[in-house]
Amino acid sequence: MEFEVSPLPYRVSALEPWISARTVEFHYEKHHKGYLKKLRDRIEGTERANQSLEALIRTERGSLYDNAAQVWNHDFYWRSMKPTDRICDPKPVVRSALVDRFGSLDGFRKEFADAANGEFGSGWAWLVRNPDGKLEVLNSSDAENPLQRGQTPLLTIDVWEHAYYLDYQNERSRYVDGFVEHLLNWDLVADNL
């Protein structure tokens, strides 16, 4: 297959004031597309070029895995957020699943934010569905993607410094707060639940 980066699902300024247009533009154009370029350079002309991105994530290791996962992770990250003028409440099925597991929506927000702030270095925090159907919040280092462990991602936040440094410098928790309080795309959770 031909690997592509999906178009951004909104304008670069759509996440302001929580994430600036400048951050979104750099992050998407330089970082996200940069991982795609590195992936293409690695697999062009090889039999791996015929596999799906998900197949590469499930089977590869090393830098090929890292770049494939980062292409997938960023696409999922952009879709994990909604423009600030299109925010809506979680559908009943999402609300009840999160309340059952985390006690309340705020309970989920807190656990997700704690995972994001608690990732020591570069990485991601995730809401996933385990193979047994149970929801779980976890974090991962570098490019690590839950698909590799048989889990289904429902939502993610990028906590590499490039995701927030232009806007918040070292204050990751302010970026995380803006994300969990103002940008969450509950519809993505519903689509994957």
Question: Which residues of the chain form contacts with Mn ion (CB under 5 A)?
Answer: 31, 158, 160
Q: How far is the CB of 159 from Mn ion (least distance, A)?
A: 9
Q: How far is the CB of 185 from Mn ion (least distance, A)?
A: 17
Q: How far is the CB of 175 from Mn ion (least distance, A)?
A: 12
Angstrom distance (rounded) from CA 143 to CA 164? 17
Q: Is cis: bond before 9, omega within 30 of 0?
A: no
Which residues have C-beta within 8 Å of that of residue 119, sequence separation ≥ 6? 125, 139, 140, 141, 159
- Looking at beta carbons only, is 135 or 184 nearer to Mn ion? 184
Contact 131, 150 (CB under 8 A): yes
- Looking at beta carbons only, is 31 or 40 nearer to Mn ion? 31
- Looking at beta carbons only, is 111 or 158 nearer to Mn ion? 158
Tokens of 188: 């993505």
- Looking at beta carbons only, is 76 or 186 nearer to Mn ion? 76
Q: What is the largest CA-CA distance in the chain?
A: 50
Contact 146, 42 (CB under 8 A): no
Sign of CA dihedral 17, 23, 177, 132: positive
Q: How far is the CB of 35 from Mn ion (least distance, A)?
A: 8
Q: How far is the CB of 139 from Mn ion (least distance, A)?
A: 14
Q: Which residue is nearest to Mn ion (CB)?
A: 158
- Looking at beta carbons only, is 31 or 58 nearer to Mn ion? 31
